[in-house]
A and B are shown apart, each in its own frame.
Chain A
Amino acid sequence: MIVEAIVFYMFSTILLLSGIMVISARNPVHSVLFLILGFFNAAGLFVLLGAEFLAMILVIVYVGAVAVLFLFVVMMLNVDMSRMRDNLKKNMTVAAVVGFVLLGELVWIFSNWHFSEDAELNVQTPFSAEDAMDNTRALGEVMYTDYMLFFQMAGLVLLVAMIGAITLTLRHRPGVKRQKINEQVNRQVKDVLRVEQVESGSGIV
């Protein structure tokens, strides 16, 4: 038990610290690296909760794909963080007031936290512990049955995101030469070759 607690506090502390570092690091590349660190720690928290599938997904998708993409983008764009920081300073007072009040209120909520009497009843446990089913399988069982609608809608959201990304970025530049295999294969001699009878003394117009 004590080990678990120690691990929990370790992950949590590093997560919070790396979160702070994400927004305070001078170098944007460092920010992204701290973000990755944060993801790892969050994954660790998931493992502690027994949600190993989510932990793996977090590592694979967020660290493996999203964060790496971020890294590329940040490196290519060469964001000037110091200028952004100046803006930040300008609004620091308001932001601080709003932020601290919000923080205080959230702390207050959690200190007053209690569960509804029905909460236990409401939280459905579709799988009994005896099944000893692992996370991945359990999610698969409900994902394509009970939560079919959400799964499909998430698919729609992704489709829309894809259409949107293409709409906003795809450009048909005129004058760019592309290989058109179909045309190349179907090219006939008569299309490209012209035989002219040239009279002597005159050129070809």
Chain B
Amino acid sequence: MYSLADFYFHATAALPEIVLTVFGMIILLFGLVREDKSTPQVTLMTVSAFAVTALVIAAMPSEPFKGFMGSFIYDPFAQFMKLLVLMGGAACLAMTLSYNTQEKINRFEFPVLALFSTVGMMFIISANDLMLAYVGLELMSLPLYVLVSIRRDFLRSSEAGIKYFVLGALASGMILYGISLIYGFSGTINFTRLSETLALQDGVSITLSFGLIMLICGVAFKLSAVPFHMWTPDVYEGAPTSVTAFLAIAPKTAVFALLARILFDGFGDMTAQWQDVIWIIAAASMIVGAFAAIPQTSIKRLLAYSTIGHMGYALVGMTAASFDGVRSMIVYMALYMVMNIGVFAIVLMLRQNDRQTTDIDNLSGLGKTHPVVALMMTVLMFSMAGIPPLAGFFGKLFVFQAAVSAELYGLAVLGVLTSVVAAYYYLRIIKIMYFEEPIHVLDKPTRDLEVISGIATIFVVAFILFPQSLVNAAQAAATALVTI
């Protein structure tokens, strides 16, 4: 059986999660005592807690290590993805500081909930069995449901929260159904055991494939991949923008890590079965992401479709089912995160008469009234559209390269075509900013948001000088997941 010493030994694998959770408790108590006026401190403490956790992760050895009866895995892949999530989460929280005060949603629970959600994300990144994955997903999602409806007096916010919650429950149902089918067939939910079981198996098990498809569908919901994307525009629009930013950045990376682990660690021997499913999801996401964004008038809805499209591109990397594919997917997610941090920082700046505005037409004339902001937005939009030599181009390039080398020519061509269509609405924003007369002058942006989006912009521009370092890091992470 299991002794306390065993537990401590295993717990070292989950040290970052434990550290962050303990911080979360302390911060929660601090907030409770000091109440809502302490929100700025609480936010900063949370960001520092993220930073400390990131340091812990960075300091940990990178040899793979399994704990808790093999259900928790710690390896370079987990290390890299957790760092990404923490970075994204910290950036998003830093962006909320002024916005939440202006919008009067500066509740101290906000950062605490975000923190616990991040703990959930870290668990799912490290999940080596389906139960941990499921509990992690719930731990990640529950705070998000609350955060989406945190502006509880606004109908849209509550509505978005309810929608997200109900559909999330449906997705959870699918995941659980899938898990029980998988367990029913194989008698295990541990990825390692599962792959061993599958390796001995000859022929395709229908039960298992059904379970896997259900599981993928449920996870795809969290990724907002088509056709499980329907919640995304409504929730993005209804949620306060600071929550939208968090929603768009951190969870996606974590869920991608989970999907990669399920597909490569657990079901690496069933590539033929899942490849077609992911192919369709990727293709549909790219198409919907490109087309549906065009008629949008709200920048938040537009970014929702943009996210859907980006998920499609990252899934192209997954479809390749190769080492290159995973590597390109990791790089793509890292770049996606940076670009979205920059863009959302700018969206958070868009205020008129001290009220958030999301109407794209209000961007008109930004080039004249706020040239610096407009310039940053231009660079980020170009990058999102995948125009060389900006970072977004490299992300797409790597993904398509992986697709081509896996002989997925159709998907690569589709990807290129949809990015052309998608470029239309990215460029339209630039056109509105520079070639249309200002209608309403926007408020002066706060300095912290300018700095954050400036850093993201510089990264996007300067990426061409050092693409190698990110690719190397992604390579190390992918090596842990896929044996070449």
Please indicate whether A and B come from the same complex rather than being unrelated chains.
yes
How would residues 89 to 123 of chain A score, 1 for a CB under 8 Å from any chain B CB and 0 otherwise? 00000000000000001000100111111111111
In the assembled complex, B131 has its CB within 8 A of some CB on chain A = yes
B 288-327 to A, binary, CB cutoff 8 A, 1 in contact else 0: 0000000000000000000000000000000000000000
Question: How far does the Cβ of B202 sit from chain A's closest Cβ, in whole Å?
Answer: 10
B132 contacts the other chain (Cβ, under 8 Å)?
yes
The segment out of A21-29, A69-77, A153-161, A185-193 that lies at the interface is A153-161
Kindly name the residue among B14, B72, B197 whose own CB sees the greatest number of chain A CB atoms within 10 A: B197
Q: Mark A146-189, 1 if CB is under 8 A from B, else 0.
A: 10111001101101110110111000000000000000000000
Q: Per-residue 0/1 for A135-150: is the Cβ within 8 Å of any B Cβ (1 yes, 0 no)?
A: 0000001000110111
Q: Which residues of A contact B139 (CB under 8 A)?
A: 153, 156-157, 160
**Residues A157 and B187 in contact, CB atoms below 8 Å apart:** no
Interface contact B71-A149, CB-CB below 8 Å:
yes
Residues of B within 8 A of A115 (CB): 184-187
- A129 to B8 Cα, complex, angstroms: 30
Chain B, 71-103, contact with A by CB distance < 8 Å: what is the 0/1 string? 110000000000000000000000000000000
Dominant secondary structure of chain B at its interface with chain A:
helix
The interface residues of chain B lying within 8 Å CB-to-CB of A149 are 10, 14, 68, 71-72, 132
Contact with A along B201-214 (1 / 0, CB 8 A): 10001111010000
Taking a contact as CB atoms under 8 Å apart, the answer to whether A153 and B123 are in contact is yes
- Return chain B residues, CB-CB under 8 Å to A120: 187
Q: Which residues of B contact A118 (CB under 8 A)?
A: 186-188, 196-197, 200
Bound: A117/B207 CA distance, A: 14
Nearest chain B CB to A187's CB is how many angstroms away?
A: 24
The answer, yes or no, to whether B193 is at the interface (CB within 8 Å) is yes
- Determine whether B435 belongs to the interface, using a CB cutoff of 8 Å to chain A: no
List A contacts of B109 (CB < 8 A): 163, 166-167
Tell me, rounded to whole Å, the shortest Cβ–Cβ distance linking A116 to chain B: 5
Chain A residues near B72: list those with CB within 8 A: 149
Shortest distance from the beta carbon of B440 to any chain A beta carbon, whole Å: 33
Q: Which residues of A have CB within 8 Å of B355?
A: none
Asked if B185 contacts A145 (CB within 8 A), the reply is: no
Determine which of B136, B143, B145 lies in contact with A153 in the assembled complex, contact meaning CB atoms within 8 Å: B136
Any A CB within 8 A of the CB of B1 = yes
A163 touches B28 (CB 8 A): yes
Residues of chain B at interface, number, CB under 8 A: 49
CB–CB B207/A112 < 8 A:
yes
Q: Identify the closest chain B residue to A156 (Cβ).
A: B139
> In the complex the two chains form, what is the Cα distance from A146 to B7 in whole Å?
9
Residues in chain B near residue A163, CB distance under 8 A: 28, 109, 112-113, 116, 143, 146
Residue B455 lies at the interface, judged by CB distance under 8 Å to chain A: no
Q: Are the C-beta atoms of B205 and A146 separated by less than 8 Å?
A: no
Contact (Cβ within 8 A) B197 A153: no
B69 at the interface (CB under 8 A from A): yes
State how many angstroms separate the Cβ of A111 from the closest Cβ of chain B: 10
- For the complex, is B135 an interface residue (Cβ under 8 Å from A)? yes
Picked from A113, A121, A146, A160, the residue with its CB within 8 Å of the CB of B116 is A160
Cα(A118)–Cα(B185), bound, Å: 9
In Å, the complex CA distance between A63 and B221 comes to 31
Chain B residues near A109 (CB-CB < 8 A): 181, 206-207, 210
Check if B113 sits within 8 Å of A116, measured CB to CB.
no
The listed residue (B116, B135, B145, B197) touching A116 by CB distance below 8 A is B197
Contacts of B2 in A (CB 8 A): 145-146, 148
Chain A residue at minimum C-beta to C-beta distance from B14: A149
Residues of B within 8 A of A117 (CB): 200-201
Residues of B within 8 A of A160 (CB): 113, 116-117, 139, 142-143, 146
A-side interface size class:
20 to 34
Across the interface, B187 reaches (CB within 8 A) one of A116, A141, A150, A167, namely A116
Nearest residue in A to B136 (C-beta to C-beta)?
A153
Report the separation of the CA atoms of residues A146 and B68 in the bound assembly, to the nearest whole angstrom: 7
Q: Does B207 lie within 8 Å of A157, measured CB to CB? A: no
A116 to B205, Cβ gap below 8 A? yes
B138 within 8 A of A: yes
Is B12 part of the binding interface, using a Cβ–Cβ cutoff of 8 Å?
no
Which residues of chain B are near A141, meaning CB under 8 Å? 1
Q: Do the beta carbons of B1 and A145 come within 8 Å of each other?
A: yes
Task: From the candidates B69, B138, B196, name the one contacting A157 in the complex (CB within 8 A).
Answer: B138
In angstroms, Cα B184 to Cα A113, docked, is 9
How distant is A179 from chain B, measured CB to nearest CB, in Å? 19
Q: For B200, list chain A residues within 8 Å (CB).
A: 117-118
**B401 interface residue (CB < 8 Å to A):** no
Contact (Cβ within 8 A) B197 A164: no
Q: How far is the CA of A86 from the CA of B135 in the complex (A)?
A: 37
B146 touches A122 (CB 8 A): no
**Contact of A164 with B119 in the complex, beta carbons under 8 Å:** no
The minimal Cβ–Cβ distance linking A115 to chain B, given in whole angstroms, is 6
**B110 CB to nearest chain A CB (Å):** 8
What residue in chain B is nearest A163 (Cβ atoms)?
Answer: B109
Beta-carbon contact of B152 and A150 below 8 Å: no
> Is A114 touching B205 in the complex (CB atoms < 8 A)?
yes
Chain A residues with CB under 8 A of B142 = 157, 160-161, 164
B236, chain A: closest CB distance, angstroms:
19
Complex: how many Å from CA A154 to CA B123?
Answer: 12
Tell me whether B116 and A168 are in contact (CB under 8 A).
no
Instruction: Verify if B149 is at the interface (C-beta below 8 Å from A).
Output: yes
Interface residues of B in 306-359 (CB under 8 A from A): none
User: Contact residues of B with A, CB < 8 Å?
Assistant: 1-2, 7, 10, 14, 21, 28, 68-69, 71-72, 107, 109, 112-113, 116-117, 119-120, 123, 131-132, 135-136, 138-139, 142-143, 145-146, 149-150, 152, 181, 184-188, 193, 196-197, 200-201, 205-208, 210
- Interface pairs A-B: 8 shortest CB-CB: A122-B187, A119-B187, A164-B146, A145-B2, A122-B188, A123-B187, A118-B197, A167-B109
17 residue pairs A–B, Cβ–Cβ below 8 Å: A113-B207, A114-B185, A115-B184, A115-B187, A118-B186, A118-B196, A119-B185, A119-B197, A122-B188, A149-B68, A153-B123, A153-B132, A153-B136, A157-B139, A160-B113, A161-B142, A164-B143
Known: A123-B188, A167-B146. 19 other contacts (CB 8 A): A109-B181, A112-B206, A114-B205, A116-B201, A118-B186, A118-B187, A119-B186, A119-B197, A120-B187, A146-B2, A150-B132, A150-B135, A153-B136, A154-B135, A156-B119, A163-B112, A167-B109, A167-B150, A168-B146
